Amino acid sequence: MTKIWKITEADLTNADNQEALLEQLEEIKIAFTYGEIIGIPTETVYGLAADARNSEAINKIFSAKGRPGDNPLIIHIHDISQLEDFTAVLDERVLSLMEAFWPGPISFILPLTGDYLSSTAVAELDSVAVRMPSHPVGRKILQHADMPLAAPSANISGKPSPTNAQHVIDDLEDRVYGVVDSESAIYGIESTVLDCTQFPYRIARPGAVTKEQLEAVLESAVDTVSSQTDKPISPGMKYKHYAPSQPLIVIEGGINNNTKLPVERTQKVGIIAPETSREFIGEDIQFISLCRDRNSYREAARNLYSALRIMDNSDVDIIFIHGFDKVPESEGLMNRIYKATGNEVIQGG
């Protein structure tokens, strides 16, 4: 039976709760030490964590998720000094980016050195993606465990990622040792991944930290890695991800009275879109409001996976989702939407 630990941000500073908190944290650390896998909160999505040095534990992650073995895992740390165990000397430009954005929703791909980490965790690559999450409870767990934790999203591979503990339980109950029940993710999509093994640096996966923000710190250009690669260097590059079981199609250009949906008369239809689109959607269509309006990119990203999960569990036959304008702030959001649809697109009105 999956064990549940309830730890909130308030528990971290509650003087009357410190003994109970320490007991929970110690239980979690011991579980990691013995090779167990645990769902933990981060500010991006919930992660399925295990000791990154333990190949048996890493194999449990791949098995629980049904994840392809060539899809590398991101290693989570709480202190930059931990990098000394498994990466080369860092370039000053990388350090400047870490200083600017860590803790936070960005992962850096760095040269891998030695055999400190499980080769399974990094998919036999000579590089490793690392990040330092900012979720207070996630950071506390990392600090107390004091070990590098490999932690991909805590969901069935290919399905919408989890943004709260219940999503993890829904997907992985009885496949994992435990789940930490804490505050939901505030970003709602996975971290930006920046490949720092060559210069100019390259974005391997867009996220909340944008190309423009990176270039402002570096004072130089940042490229983008092509997703058409046989051996992915980052999660989210090669495979269809984040998808419900029903067909999912992007409506580019927005929804209005002229939008024609390619559906059969007998099909039950679902639409995920900003609240301002509601007036154009018939009462016979299941509608989920993703955000206030078409410019609310951060809100849309935070709600995206929950909306996809609701539709996945509904009786609709086909789902349409609003396509947002292609601006820097929407790049991570639209990357996830296109990945979820397999690039199936129609034009709006």
To the question of whether residue 100 is assigned a binding role by annotation, the answer is: no
Residue 264 · residue 288 · CB < 8 Å: no
pLDDT for the residue numbered 218: 96
To the question of whether residue 205 is assigned a binding role by annotation, the answer is: yes
pLDDT for the residue numbered 238: 57
CA distances from 40 to 33, 60, 86, 150 (A): 15, 15, 23, 11
**Domain map of the chain by residue range?**
3-224, 248-347
Q: What is the mean pLDDT of the chain?
A: 95
pLDDT for the residue numbered 237: 60
| 219-232 average pLDDT score | 78
Write out pLDDT tens, residues 278-293: 999 999 999 999 999 9
Write out pLDDT tens, residues 7-26: 999 999 999 999 999 999 99
To the question of whether residue 44 is assigned a binding role by annotation, the answer is: yes
The Cα 48–Cα 60 span in angstroms is 10
pLDDT at 320 over 70: yes
To the question of whether residue 302 is assigned a binding role by annotation, the answer is: no
> Among 235, 217, 240, which residue's Cα sits nearest to residue 127?
235
To the question of whether residue 67 is assigned a binding role by annotation, the answer is: yes
To the question of whether residue 191 is assigned a binding role by annotation, the answer is: yes
Can you give the pTM of this predicted structure? Answer: 0.95
To the question of whether residue 220 is assigned a binding role by annotation, the answer is: no
To the question of whether residue 241 is assigned a binding role by annotation, the answer is: no
pLDDT for the residue numbered 173: 93
> Among 49, 135, 106, 139, which residue's Cα sits nearest to residue 234?
106
Confidence of residue 229 (pLDDT cuts 50, 70, 90): low
Q: What is the DSSP string of 255-277?
A: --TT------TT--EEEEE-GGG
DSSP state, 106? E
pLDDT for the residue numbered 230: 57
To the question of whether residue 306 is assigned a binding role by annotation, the answer is: no
To the question of whether residue 139 is assigned a binding role by annotation, the answer is: no
The Cα 35–Cα 53 span in angstroms is 10
Sheet-wide strand order for 74-76: 3-6, 178-181, 38-40, 47-51, 149-150, 74-76, 127-131, 106-111, 192-195, 202-205, 223-224
pLDDT for the residue numbered 48: 98
**DSSP-derived 3-state class of residue 179:** strand
Residue 98 · residue 80 · CB < 8 Å: yes
CATH H-level, domain 3-224: superfamily: DHBP synthase (3.90.870.10)
Helix axes 211-218, 92-101, angle to 10 degrees: 130
Do 3-224 and 248-347 agree at the fold level?
no
pLDDT for the residue numbered 57: 98
To the question of whether residue 55 is assigned a binding role by annotation, the answer is: no
Write out pLDDT tens, residues 192-215: 999 999 999 999 999 999 999 999
How much of the chain is helix, strand and coil, in % rounded to 5?
A: 30, 20, 50
74's enclosing H/E stretch is: strand 74-76
pLDDT for the residue numbered 231: 63
Specify which residues 286 forms β-bridges with. Answer: 270
Total residue length of the chain: 349
pLDDT at 348 over 60: yes
Write out pLDDT tens, residues 49-79: 999 999 999 999 999 999 988 899 999 999 9
Query: What's the CATH fold of domain 248-347?
Result: Rossmann fold (3.40.50)
